[in-house]
């Protein structure tokens, strides 16, 4: 009874911790999205400079990561050659900078709720690019599911009250670049046995992002900022915003490391519904019934996709355990045969 009670208590503690990690990630992701919208939207803080905001984030994250890795030595750097850095990290940094630039730019033109609906296309983009790069096998049922998600998003877009084609294009480009980045991480880093935690990831990738963003910033935003003589950097606003962005990177690692990437996908769906409700009730964005119907259809497709991934992971885990059990049984049988042969030899002597 005592043993069973202790086991139950341990299981309950593990479940509660998992929920805590999910809650922390949802809160920080929610905060960063709403905070970025507040800064960039012309009707709110009115600072429509997405490249500059992204560069502030990258500069802040790079500085903190450098202090933790090089100064305080709280995190060990990854052994990486210059050649590997340019072949693997630089392409990922380029894609990350483009993804952040375009996703932040979309907040100027689109509502928070509609952006979350468009983000439902992420599984479609990841799967399609995975098939293109031969990281995923083409399956007709999975592709049919991807089509259903796309139709749902298209219906949601049709019902959008404040549809902006430029904003939609920016968000779709952000989704495409982010999906490509996720696939390339598997190809260029994970396949080579390189695993980056959030600190080492920011340490290597954030400076690269900052460098890439300097080019469009000088051309697009610097002239406007230079001519805006009344502008002054509000350290309270941008400091807390950057801190939230840094904390979100840690929360992603905490959630995926302590649970799984699939848990984050499921939590992301919950976060999207919360953001849609917040956008409608607090920010007063218009959410139409067609919006909700379309996103509901896309949501069902994403939920089925996550369910299929979960079943696949369970099957792979069961196969791995069965293989380990067979290997263990074979090893024990071999030991018994060896032991029996030794005893037989002693008896004959």
Count of structural domains within the chain:
1
Is 331 a member of any domain?
Answer: no
Using 50, 70 and 90 to split pLDDT, how confident is the model at 104?
A: very high
Cβ contacts of 25 within 8 Å, gap of 6 or more: 248, 251, 252, 254, 255, 264, 267
As a whole number, the mean pLDDT across the chain is: 86
CB 295 within 8 A of CB 276: yes
Is 122 a member of any domain?
Answer: yes
What's the CA gap between 133 and 141, in Å, rounded?
A: 19
Q: pLDDT digits over 156-209, tens only?
A: 999 998 899 999 999 999 999 999 998 998 888 877 888 888 889 899 999 999
Is 287 a member of any domain?
Answer: yes
Section 319-323 average pLDDT: 80
Is 211 a member of any domain?
Answer: yes
Is 295 a member of any domain?
Answer: yes
| Stated pTM of the model | 0.84
Can you give the residue range of the structural domain that contains 86? 19-317
Distance between first and last Cα of the chain: 52
Question: In the structure encoding, which two tokens stand for residue 2, read together?
Answer: 């005592």
Question: Given this model, what pLDDT does residue 262 score?
Answer: 65
Is 68 a member of any domain?
Answer: yes
Is 322 a member of any domain?
Answer: no
Is 302 a member of any domain?
Answer: yes
């Amino acid at each position: 009874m005592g043993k069973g009670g202790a086991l139950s208590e341990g299981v309950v503690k593990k479940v509660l911790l998992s929920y805590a990690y999910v809650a922390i990630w949802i809160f920080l992701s929610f905060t960063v999205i709403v905070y970025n919208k507040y800064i960039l939207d012309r009707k709110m803080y009115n600072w429509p400079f997405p490249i500059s905001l992204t560069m502030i984030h990258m500069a802040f994250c790079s500085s903190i990561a450098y202090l933790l890795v090089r100064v305080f030595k709280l995190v060990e750097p990854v052994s990486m050659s210059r050649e590997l850095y340019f072949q693997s990290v630089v392409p990922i940094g380029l894609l990350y900078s483009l993804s952040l630039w375009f996703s932040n730019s979309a907040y100027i033109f689109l509502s928070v709720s509609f952006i979350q609906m468009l983000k439902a296309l992420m599984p479609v983009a990841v799967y399609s690019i995975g098939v293109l790069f031969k990281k995923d096998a083409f399956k007709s049922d999975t592709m049919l599911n991807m089509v259903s998600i796309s139709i749902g998003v298209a219906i949601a877009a049709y019902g959008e009250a404040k549809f902006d084609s430029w904003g939609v294009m920016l968000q779709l480009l952000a989704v495409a670049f982010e999906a490509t980045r996720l696939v390339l991480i598997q190809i260029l880093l994970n396949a080579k046995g390189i695993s980056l935690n959030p600190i080492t990831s920011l340490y290597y990738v954030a400076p690269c992002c900052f460098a890439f963003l300097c080019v469009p910033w000088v051309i697009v935003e610097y002239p406007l900022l230079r001519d805006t003589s009344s502008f002054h950097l509000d350290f309270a606003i941008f400091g807390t915003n950057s801190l939230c962005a840094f904390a979100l990177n840690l929360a992603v690692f905490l959630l995926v490391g302590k649970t799984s990437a699939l848990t984050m996908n499921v939590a992301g769906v919950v976060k999207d519904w919360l953001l849609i409700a917040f956008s409608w009730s607090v920010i007063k964005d218009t959410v139409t019934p067609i919006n909700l119907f379309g996103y509901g259809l896309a949501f069902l497709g994403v939920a089925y996709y996550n369910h299929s991934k979960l079943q696949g992971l369970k099957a792979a885990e069961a196969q791995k355990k069965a293989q380990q059990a067979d290997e263990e049984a074979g090893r024990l049988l071999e030991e018994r045969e060896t032991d029996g042969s030794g005893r037989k030899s002693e008896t004959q002597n």
